Amino acid sequence: MPNALHDMRNLLVTPPEMQAVDKDAAGSGIDSFSLMRSAGMAVSAAALRLFPSAARFVVFCGPGNNGGDGYVAAAALTASGANVALYALGDTGKLKGDAARAHAAYGREAISIELYEPQSQDVIIDALFGAGLARELPDQAQEIVGRVDQAGLPVVAVDLPSGIDGRTGEIRGASFTAVHTVTFMAAKPGHVLMPGRGRCGTLEVFDIGIPARLVAARAGGLGINVPAVWRQCAAGLDPATHKFKRGHLAVFSGGPTSTGAARLSAAAGLRAGAGLVTLASPTEAIPVNAAHLTAVMLKEIGNAADLAEWLKDSRLNAFVLGPGFGIGEKARDFALMLCERALVLDADGLTSFKERRSELFDRIAASGGQVVMTPHEGEFQRLFPEIAADGKLSKIEKAQAAAKLSHAVILSKGPDTVIAAPSGRAVVNVNAPPWLATAGSGDVLAGIIGAHLAQGMPAFEAAAAAAWRHGEAGRRTGRSATAEMLVENIAPLPEESAS
Ligand SMILES: NC(=O)C1=CN([C@@H]2O[C@H](COP(=O)(O)OP(=O)(O)OC[C@H]3O[C@@H](n4cnc5c(N)ncnc54)[C@H](OP(=O)(O)O)[C@@H]3O)[C@@H](O)[C@H]2O)[C@@H](O)CC1
Ligand SMILES: [K+]
């Protein structure tokens, strides 16, 4: 695992991993109640920072340690002079361990939660459920969520907005929508996967004092897609080097009425740093492609024999196949010929293998090339129907399963794009603005990945870096983004100092 994932800011830790970290911390002599105290104090500090003149803080406390954090926060808010009301879900007499201790230390009345009546100036501290949410939010809690939503009150969530599954980001029946979430030691998948991410508000990862090495020891290779994940691989990409050292990317065009997608990929590939980019076009589409190209070169490739001849040029080192290409045998034949180099298989290139996927997966396994597949949700369902249908798996776990099965790096698209390698390593991309979902956006992404592969980046890093640069291009372009504008706004790879 690269060092980047040892940086706590980039790690994602699942709730079961975090439970194991807790146990390890206790085993190493760290007082668990002191951790709870740090957690609760951090929540109180965040609430006061965000709402310094709140008329009333309303703390909802659940039956486990998330509730325990709530009791600590309520005590700290009270000590600061704030007006606090505390409502408990369930029988406080049944609280155990640290949560019981925090409740006792609070020492004031806990009102039964069904009695909560929203007041217009309330600020909610949600400490009902965190990492331990094991099933659907109980009805009583769902009803409170409804009341808070209807009243439009701001919510500060402890660890996770109650109702969000920390492993998957799914909503278990209902959930609060927070303006701010304070989590501890490391973010969880539920903070970055949709729909959870959309309900966390700003995310604060607070260090409650568990040694980083204990967290890193239990973390399973999941991270947030930050430049540190792939920067070492990008460092050798010197823009001043000879063109061929920056690689030669080939993008395959569809027929005369569907050439635009491949040209977008090619333009993005050039902009993203490939030394040379050639559009490989069927004979019928040569005139229309020729009329639209300047820096991108054009090569007539009508059939598999043409391609075999062209592939004798070993400097051609990366390929994009799929955007606008057409579905069918030709796509399959071409893809199977390209697996042993570096290939981005996208769009029609993926759908072409719907009924014949094992041919592709076996070839990838046997060839040892660098293959990145970039399915959106529908394409993922077509190629991996049994994985897509498994409701127990998170989007990260689905991408990991697909990568393992296909032997390729999977870039599973969406507002929470996941990049997973066959080894199980995975990152979630978090910098994409919503307007990035514009027509042709995926073609641009495929071209950027192709450029990275052409420059010699390994498939995982090539895909992760591309998702990040694509997100940045979206941010730079702004809300009116079109695919052409995205290409123009692909920025150079970040310098060493960026995090
Ligand atoms: N190192 C750290 O990160 C630290 C973490 N800390 C904090 O601990 C929190 C995790 O605590 P936790 O494990 O006690 O889980 P939590 O979310 O309170 O829920 C468990 C309780 O809820 C119950 N229950 C579950 N689902 C239910 C449902 N649908 N409906 C009804 N009941 C349900 C479950 O009962 P059971 O399933 O056993 O029947 C159990 O009683 C974490 O989020 C963070 O805030 C800090 O204190 C300091 C260190
Ligand atoms: K919570």
pLDDT in tens, 75-85: 999 999 999 99
pLDDT of residue 407: 98
371-398 pLDDT, tens per residue? 999 999 999 999 999 999 999 999 999 9
Residues 213, 240 share a domain: no
pLDDT of residue 83: 98
Residues 375, 296 share a domain: yes
Spatial separation of the C-alpha atoms in residues 485 and 482, rounded to whole Å:
5
pLDDT of residue 145: 98
Ligand 1: distance of its center to the CA of 168 in Å? 16
pLDDT of residue 1: 41
The mean pLDDT value for 267-294 works out to 96
Residues 364, 215 share a domain: no
183 in any annotated domain: yes
N-terminal to C-terminal alpha carbon distance within the chain: 18
Q: How many domains does the chain have?
A: 2
Average pLDDT, the chain: 95
pLDDT of residue 377: 97
CATH number at residue 362: 3.40.1190.20
Residues 125, 247 share a domain: no
497 in any annotated domain: no
The model's confidence at residue 239, banded by pLDDT at 50, 70 and 90, is low
Measured from CB, residues less than 6 Å from any atom of ligand 1 are 18, 22, 35-36, 39, 62-69, 129-138, 158-159, 184-185, 208, 210
146 in any annotated domain: yes
Residues 193, 137 share a domain: yes
Ligand closest to 18 (CA) is 1
pLDDT of residue 229: 93
Q: Is the pLDDT of residue 299 over 50?
A: yes
Residues 266, 186 share a domain: no
Residues 461, 336 share a domain: yes
Q: Is the pLDDT of residue 218 over 70?
A: yes
443-475 pLDDT, tens per residue? 999 999 999 999 999 999 999 999 999 999 999
100-109 pLDDT, tens per residue? 999 999 999 9
498 in any annotated domain: no
Residues 397, 327 share a domain: yes
- Where is the binding site for K(+), in residues? 66, 126, 162
Residues 213, 231 share a domain: no
132 in any annotated domain: yes
218 in any annotated domain: yes
- What's the whole-model pTM score? 0.95
Residues with Cβ within 8 Å of residue 83, at least 6 apart in sequence: 54, 55, 56, 57
400 in any annotated domain: yes
pLDDT of residue 153: 98
Ligand closest to 178 (CA) is 2
For β-strands 418-420 and 202-206, DSSP reports them as unpaired
Residues 255, 172 share a domain: no
Residues 362, 246 share a domain: yes
ipTM for the complex shown: 0.98
Structural domain containing residue 160: 3-222
111-158 pLDDT, tens per residue? 999 999 999 999 999 999 999 898 999 999 999 999 999 999 999 999
Q: Is the pLDDT of residue 23 over 90?
A: yes
Own/partner contacts of 389-397, CB < 8 Å, gap of 24 or more, are 393/168, 394/167, 394/168, 394/169, 394/170, 394/189, 394/193, 395/168, 395/169, 395/193, 395/194, 396/12, 396/189, 396/193, 396/222, 396/420, 396/426, 396/428
CATH number at residue 194: 3.40.50.10260
Ligand 1: distance of its center to the CA of 186 in Å? 17
Residues 149, 17 share a domain: yes
pLDDT of residue 499: 45
Ligand 1: distance of its center to the CA of 226 in Å? 30
